[in-house]
Amino acid sequence: MKVFVILPAAGLGTRMAAGGVSPAAPKQFLTLHGLPILIHSLRAFEAVSRVDTIYVAVRKNEIDRVKTQVAGHGVAAKVHVVEGGDTRQESVSNALAALPCTDDDIVLVHDAVRPLIDPVTIDRTIDSVAKHGAAIVALPAIDTIKQVERTADGAIITSTIPRELIVQAQTPQGFRCGLLKRAFAEAQADGFVGTDEASIVERSGVEVAVVMGSAKNLKITQPGDLELAEFYLKQS
Ligand code: C5P
């Protein structure tokens, strides 16, 4: 059984740009603690001995830059760079099409912009996928969660969702390769677009297990997140 990793890194970082950070530098290429965010993520997966190959999906015009970065930081041995797409789902789908995996192999998908993922959590996710077939890292909700209806006057609360029924999905999200490929094919046939891989697999009727995540595994999305990630790195 092999373990493949897909790092979607073809986002444009528009939410970061909206906050004043240069739109010329998508967030996965911003520097954190002296290294591009993407390289931090790659290193975490490279440190896990069970990981065989890592596929990074990037914009076509960034393929050469990323290949150079990957080679320059000594993480090239297990890494392939492929072209991403216009949505996260398309980027993952393109990488998935390039994977030489058998049905029983494991595929982990991880947001390139979660650079503080740790090898222990990656290992636990692999164990959980080996046991359940599908597992994602997630964090119990701390805030009280409200369902709302969007109106012209703003959001109006329609209900309160019991907090103990909620987890916040993070990544990695892992699946047996055959199961993931089937779920992606079904989603494409139905025109379904999900914001994570689990939502695509859930709609195929597959049960997805949860592995405990951490607040440290943050997704660098908005201005301020980079400073928080720097803070965590200085602590460790
Ligand atoms: O923007 P979002 O929060 O969905 O980004 C999650 C991850 O998906 C990021 O690492 C981003 O680079 C990636 N992504 C992608 N292709 C897209 C959009 C996002 O690979 N078209």
The pLDDT tens digits of the residues spanning 133-189 come to 999 999 999 999 999 999 999 999 999 999 999 999 999 999 999 999 999 999 999
Structure tokens at 151: 């109106």
Q: Judging by beta carbons within 10 Å of its beta carbon (0-12, 13-18, 19+), is residue 138 exposed, middle or buried?
A: buried
Q: Tell me the average pLDDT across 5-31.
A: 75
pLDDT for the residue 17: 60
d(CA 2, CA 180): 15
Q: Is 113 in the pocket of ligand 1 (CB under 6 A)?
A: yes
Angle (CA) 32 224 60, round 5°? 55
pLDDT digits (tens, 9 = 90+) for 37-66: 999 999 999 999 999 999 999 999 999 999
Q: Tell me the average pLDDT across 126-137.
A: 98
Q: Is 9 in the pocket of ligand 1 (CB under 6 A)?
A: yes
pLDDT for the residue 19: 56
Domain boundaries defined on the chain: 3-139+169-235
88 CA from centroid of ligand 1 (Å): 5
> In this model, does residue 29 exceed pLDDT 90?
no
Q: Tell me the average pLDDT across 184-205.
A: 96
Q: Judging by beta carbons within 10 Å of its beta carbon (0-12, 13-18, 19+), is residue 87 exposed, middle or buried?
A: middle
Q: Is 87 in the pocket of ligand 1 (CB under 6 A)?
A: yes
Q: Which of 187, 179, 60, 43 is nearest to 112 (CA)?
A: 43
Q: Tell me the average pLDDT across 60-73.
A: 93
8 CA from centroid of ligand 1 (Å): 6
pLDDT for the residue 118: 97
pLDDT for the residue 161: 96
Percent of the chain with pLDDT over 70: 94
> In this model, does residue 215 exceed pLDDT 90?
yes
pLDDT for the residue 77: 86
Q: Tell me the average pLDDT across 189-199.
A: 97
Q: Is 86 in the pocket of ligand 1 (CB under 6 A)?
A: yes
Q: Greater confidence, 24 or 199?
A: 199
Q: Is 48 in the pocket of ligand 1 (CB under 6 A)?
A: no
pLDDT band at 103 (very low <50, low <70, confident <90, very high): very high
Radius of gyration of the chain (CA): 18
Q: What is the mean pLDDT of the chain?
A: 93
> In this model, does residue 16 exceed pLDDT 80?
no
pLDDT for the residue 147: 96
Q: Which of 111, 170, 222 to mutate to test the pocket of ligand 1 (most atoms within 8 A of CB)?
A: 111
pLDDT for the residue 73: 86
Give the homologous superfamily in CATH for domain 3-139+169-235: Spore Coat Polysaccharide Biosynthesis Protein SpsA; Chain A (3.90.550.10)
Q: Which of 38, 54, 91, 193 to mutate to test the pocket of ligand 1 (most atoms within 8 A of CB)?
A: 91
Report the C-alpha dihedral over residues 80, 56, 6, 183, rounded to 10 degrees: -100
